[in-house]
Amino acid sequence: MALIADYHTHTKYSRKNHGKGTIEENVRVAYEKGLRQIAITDHGFNQKLYGLKRSDVEKVKEDIENAKEMYPIDVLFGVEANLISSHGDIDLVEDDYKNLDILLCGFHRLVRSTSKGEQLRFVLKNIMCEIFHHTSKKQREKNTNAYINAMRKYDIDIITHLNHVCKVDVEKVARVAKETNTLIELNGKRLGMSDKQILKCLEIGCKFVINSDAHSPKRVGACHKGLKAALRLRIPDSAIVNYNDLPTLKKDKRKKRS
């Protein structure tokens, strides 16, 4: 199975050395590996340590345009937004939202929430659940509703590393992903879902995208865990949007909304 796109890559714009390469380096590696499309998706603005700065957005877009002139490959500007509250809020405002070629969303530690209460009840609570390897039924329901609300409120293209840290009812999330045409990521580095949960997503009719989640240029296109899962579970090629063809993303829909 050969992928033709990688929609989850980070660069030095994910600060504090969290992303280790330039946009040009990521694009060059993608081109050398034969990809037809790559997205630059640095961390959302509310990530306290590594988030993209709004003041850097124009620089990112300029670097992308320069890279497109250097290499014959399509380069998308995106962000891996943070799920920041149990209500399904993400760390974008209208001006951010309308300019994106692609929008990814996932839960991450060390994000700034919408209030002190949500910081404790949603962000910190999930971190504690991870530490103690136990998520209560109530917390799982809260997390599930957060993802569902986010998919219905925003035109999210891809949910990243679902069920990693922030545990959910995967079946319920998958049904809304199918309803909203939101892609479920099979992450190249980490899989929060069990084989049974992945197969349930397939049964429901979700589409998958296999991404690297690269934080250095050499990792661009390196989607080993996601690929192994797809092969092991015999997921059909037609269910993986970045194999053989390129997906239709929601950029135009976001522009109409804004």
Superfamily of domain 5-257 in CATH is Metal-dependent hydrolases (3.20.20.140)
pLDDT in tens, 147-168: 999 999 999 999 999 999 999 9
* 251 phi, psi to nearest 5 deg: -55, -50
pLDDT for 257: 67
Distance spanning both ends of the chain, measured CA to CA: 38
- pLDDT at residue 143 is higher than 80: yes
- Helix and strand tally (H, E) in the chain? 10, 7
212/256 Cα distance (integer angstroms): 30
Task: Give the pLDDT score at 1.
Answer: 57
Parse the chain into domains and list their residue ranges.
5-257
- The arithmetic mean of pLDDT across residues 205-220, rounded, is 97
Lowest-pLDDT range, 122-136, 174-188, 223-237, 240-254?
240-254
Instruction: For the chain, state the CA radius of gyration.
Output: 17
Q: What is the Cα–Cα distance from 173 to 91, expressed in whole angstroms?
A: 20
Tell me if residue 51 falls in helix, strand or coil. coil
What confidence score (pLDDT) does residue 255 get? 75
Please say whether the beta carbons of 162 and 100 come within 8 A: no
Report the chain's mean pLDDT, rounded to a whole number: 95
The DSSP annotation for 63-94 comes to HHHHHHHHSSSEEEEEEEEEB-STT--BS--H
pLDDT of res. 258: 59
CA dihedral 77, 198, 177, 225 (to 10 degrees): 0
3-state SS assignment for residue 131: helix
Q: pLDDT at position 196, please? A: 97
Which percentage of the chain shows pLDDT scores above 70?
99
